[in-house]
Structure 1
Amino acid sequence: MTDANLLTDNPALYEARFPDATRLAGRWAEDRLRHYGAGPRVLDLGCGTGRDAAHLHRAGRRVVGADLSEAMLGHARRHHPGPAYVRADLRHFDLGQRRFDAVVCLDSALLYCHTNEELDGLLASCRRALAPGGLLLAEMRNGAFFLGRTELLDGPSVSTFDWQGVTHRSTTALRVDRAAQLLRRTRVWTADDGSPPVEQHSAWRLLFPQELRHLLGTHGFEVLALYDGPGPRTDPPWSPGDPPATTVDADRLHLVARLTRET
């Protein structure tokens, strides 16, 4: 086995594994941006294959998609044109004089900042990139969900899907690294074409709601909304007109924060 990020290196495989034909994540983001009166300039941070950035572009916004993976960015430019795509590390980025009315950070991208220093770097970078009064819109796993709950940790999950005539199988195990405050994931890929297994390791920072409020406050943001559902990754998923919950107990967090001061 080799240590690789099979999905990041193969964006088409990523889209086959995580189909989003209805652009649910992009529609949710556009709905929230409209609800809170965000202006047209949007930075999609951790844009991946560009599906959500392209949806926001089609909704009439001027979008920049930023990602660290050149493979993802190349796929986005070819298959989801419209936005401008740039390479950037979300832990610390500088897009020069560009200013945005909103920064969108979906699918737990924010949680790839594993340390307090990396989180500070992300939020400081967002603060520099946003115009006064700009929004930070994020969707992520909820650290509070794992307090006393083990249903996502008790055993590996297995999924299969077909892509280009090959059946792929992923076996995923999660564990909580309490000392580092990380949710660590080991995923083993196999395929029925005889290729060797691939083992992939990744992790998300586990952030708790009050911790997140404090971090945002120290960087000049006011939290306008913080709730667990519904959203694009919840069960049942969000649909237009759904009111946000008043709880922060389930396995996803949805955040809207406004930049209220420059620090």
Structure 2
Amino acid sequence: MTATTVPHNLLTDNPALYEARFPDPDRLAGRWTEDCLGRHQAGRRVLDMGCGTGRDAAHLHGAGRSVTGADLSEAMLTHARTHHPGPEYVRADLHGFDLGRGAFDAVVCLDSSLLYCHTNDQLDAFLSSCRRALAPGGLLVTEMRNGAYFLGRTDLLDTPTVHTFTWQGTVHRSTTTLTVDRTAQLLRRTRLWTADDGSAPVEQRSAWRLLFPQELCHLLAAHGFEVLELHDGPGPRTEPPWQEGRPPGDSTDADRLHVIARLTTPH
């Protein structure tokens, strides 16, 4: 059976399927983010850019924050409003947004969402938007794949990985292959979805920008941010699992990169 290639993200278009594929009962990303905000004494007003299904935004709301969750996917926003109420959910684009000058004490951008800014212009637009949205001294908290990990390493590349899970009585299987596009500085992902319900396979293609730690520091400084923490752990997707109270490390060698920066030069 020939696979159908779809222009949209299958998981983004099906939020319940996304949460089944990536369950997070302990809200690890939300707990890590709240710990970061608390340690650096951020104010209550938080913008979660690329909020997805709203799980982390709702966790921060439950911790006493005044949260706005923003995403480009209407399907995700509808799911978030229904299943993870509390925050205000709005439609906004990572590549440039204006949700009020100085309206937030922190901007949060989790799960490699920042890396959907593929070009330098898109990265500049995102950071300019964050700078505009933050009050003086506001925080940017983000975690993402680490571009430096792929310097000389191929263990995550070119070999398909398979994950199987059951959702609504149907067994779903994703076969994912990662490749590096060195010219574009992108990590490209091809994912083939199959299910045991007889539906046609679906092939999905996406990509993340590969950012290196010092490159990211340079970009942040150019937009008026001081880097407070830059490390590969602890964080919501590091091994061993993140735990509150564990001090941040100083390595940037692992697959994930965690960054906390403070706005020192507002618009």
TM over 0.5: yes
Aligned to 1:159: 163
1:47 and 2:58 aligned: no
- Counterpart of 1:2 in structure 2 is 5
- Tell me which amino acid in the other structure corresponds to 1:224: L
Corresponding position: 1:96 with 2:113: no
CA drift of 1:154 comes to 3.9
Equivalent position to 1:19, from 20, 23, 38: 23
Alignment of 1:1-263 (within 5 A): 1-3=4-6, 4-97=8-101, 99-263=103-267
CA distance in 1: counterparts of 2:69 and 2:25, whole angstroms: 19
- Tell me which moved more, 232-241 or 35-44: 232-241
* Seq. identity, %: 76
Partner SS state of residue 261, structure 2? strand
Measure, in 1, the Cα distance between the counterparts of 2:21 and 2:158. 23
User: Quick one: distance in 2 between partners of 1:261 and 1:78?
Assistant: 38
Q: Secondary structure at the match of 1:15?
A: helix
Structure 2 counterpart of 1:257, which letter?
A: A
Which runs of 5 or more structure 1 residues have no equivalent in the other structure?
A: none
Alpha-carbon offset, residue 262 of structure 1? 2.3
Could you list the runs of 5+ residues in structure 2 that have no partner in the other structure?
A: none
Q: 1:97 to 1:259 in 2, by over 3 A?
A: closer
What is the DSSP-based 3-state SS (H/G/I as helix, E as strand, rest coil) of the residue aligned with 1:153? coil
Instruction: Give the deviation of 1:98 after TM superposition.
Output: 6.0
Instruction: Give the Cα–Cα distance (whole angstroms) in 2 for the partners of residues 230 and 220 of structure 1.
Output: 26
TM-score relative to the length of structure 1: 0.99
Structure 1 residue runs of 4 or more that deviate by more than 4 Å after TM superposition? none
Q: Deviations over 1:90-148 (max 9, x none)?
A: 11001135610000000000000000000000000000000000000000000000000
Deviates more, 1:96-105 or 1:142-151: 96-105
Q: TM-score, normalised by structure 2?
A: 0.97
What's the RMSD between the two structures over aligned residues?
Answer: 0.8
Letter in structure 2 aligned against 1:107:
D
Q: Distance in 1 between matches of 2:167 and 2:84?
A: 20
CA distance in 1, matches of 2:146, 2:258: 9
How many angstroms apart in 2 are the aligned matches of 1:14 and 1:236?
A: 24
Please say if residues 102 and 132 of structure 2, whose CA atoms lie closer than 8 Å, have aligned partners that are also in contact.
Answer: no
Q: Tell me the SS of whatever aligns to 1:204.
A: strand
Q: How many residues align?
A: 263
**SS of the residue aligned with 2:98?**
coil
How far did 1:236 drift? 1.4
Q: Distance in 2 between matches of 1:124 and 1:98?
A: 12
